[in-house]
Homo-oligomer: A and B are copies of this chain.
Amino acid sequence: MYTMELRFIRGGVCAVDGVLAAGCREGKYGVGLIINRGSTAAAVFTSNRVRAEPVKLTERVIADGSISAIVANSGNANCFTGREGMDDARRMARKVAESLSMDESEVAVASTGVIGRRMPIDKIEFLIQSAAAQLENSEAASGALAEAIMTTDTFPKEVAVEFELETGEKARIGAVAKGSGMIAPNMATMLSFITTDVDASSSELTEALRVAVDESFNMLIVDGDESTNDMVIISSTRTSGRIDSNFREALVAVCRELARMMARDGEGVTKSFQVDVVNAGTHEDAKMAARAIAGSSLVKTAIFGADPNWGRIVAAAGYSGAEFDPEEISVTLESDSESVVIVDHGDILAFEGTEELETAERVMTSKEIRIIVDLAAGDESATAYGCDLTYDYVRINAEYTT
């Protein structure tokens, strides 16, 4: 899949030398800290018209292309909280700045949790102080950070890679994230904080980050795509070589791995799947078809029910807007151990009594499923990530109250 060697290593955001992290949790509230003084930074924010106060604040903080710290809390999204909410976000930044002797305009703020409720700011300030006292460049510190920002996540999410730049210099990217492929009661807010040592300007980082987010988090299909609090920040120590295509490729790989983790996660999720649309006429077509299939409630319930329902897959491709000839489409289902073509150039191969149907039914019982849809309309491809739609999904979201 990747054209260069990518070594997955431990350490999360702390895999990059000089980056400090910490995380503290008390009950349903958590605070995570990342310190990367004077780092070059870039961010991508939610496109939702309703934006939480920390999103508005961080957008201003990062406008000059540099940050020294990120503070993120879980338990309260500080969204739809008006002027008081903005004051609370500022107080979080100020608390970090005071504890660590930096300017508050250098502190990015992120929040995730319930919306429409005032922040328990005293508790959050207390947690910030505790976290500030535990900062370290260590695997454990990044782990504590990843745990602190979880909400409905069932496991912490960290990725780190080491690779060579085209010049042969070693470089690293580390990351933590929270979010789930399930539509969680808190709107499935997605936060990700990425660190690197690659030398790049803020605008170079922005460009690389946008592409990576587009191919990963934006292809993770959750309800409505973007919550009020989504935020991805990358910051660099600039201690390694110059940005190049190896870095860009590694960044896509890191973000995709995080997206896959999110697709697997979420209460009520029993299976995750990946849709690879290949041979589309345009990249946009490939993305539309992959997203439509991964987002189809009918496909998602079929995954839950282990039903190799080619009809739902083809129909979803049909309404996606992508151009293709239904008589040329092919569909393959894959698990880790098996692969079976169920539709071949418009011919249905998996029907009652066939070996194809038997294999397809077996593939559909695995925990991670790959659906490959060949549109036979060009040579562009795209991948989307999704999870099944289950009884527990309905229960969790119906029982949760405001």
Partner-B contacts on A (CB < 8 A): 47-51, 80, 82, 115-116, 183, 185, 187, 223-228, 292, 296-298, 301-302, 304-305, 307-312, 314-320, 322-324, 326-327, 346, 348, 350-351, 389-391, 393-395, 397-402
Contact = CB atoms under 8 A, between A and B. Distances in A.
B226 A319 contact: yes
How many copies make up the complex? 2
Given A307-B402, A310-B402, A315 B187 contact: yes
A289 to B, nearest CB: 10
A196 to B, nearest CB: 30
- Secondary structure call for the A interface: loop
Contacts of A398: 301-302, 304-305, 307, 390
**Top 4 A-B residue pairs of the complex, sorted by shortest distance between their CB atoms:** A305-B398, A50-B318, A301-B397, A48-B318
A284 to B, nearest CB: 15
Contacts of A304: 394, 398
22 contacts: A49-B323, A50-B314, A80-B314, A80-B326, A80-B346, A115-B311, A116-B351, A187-B298, A223-B296, A223-B297, A223-B298, A224-B296, A224-B298, A226-B319, A227-B315, A305-B398, A307-B401, A307-B402, A309-B401, A311-B402, A390-B398, A391-B395
A49 B224 contact: no
A115 B326 CA distance: 13
A142 B296 CA distance: 35
Nearest to A186: B311
Nearest to A399: B305
Given A47-B319, A327-B82, A394 B390 contact: yes
A331 B24 CA distance: 37
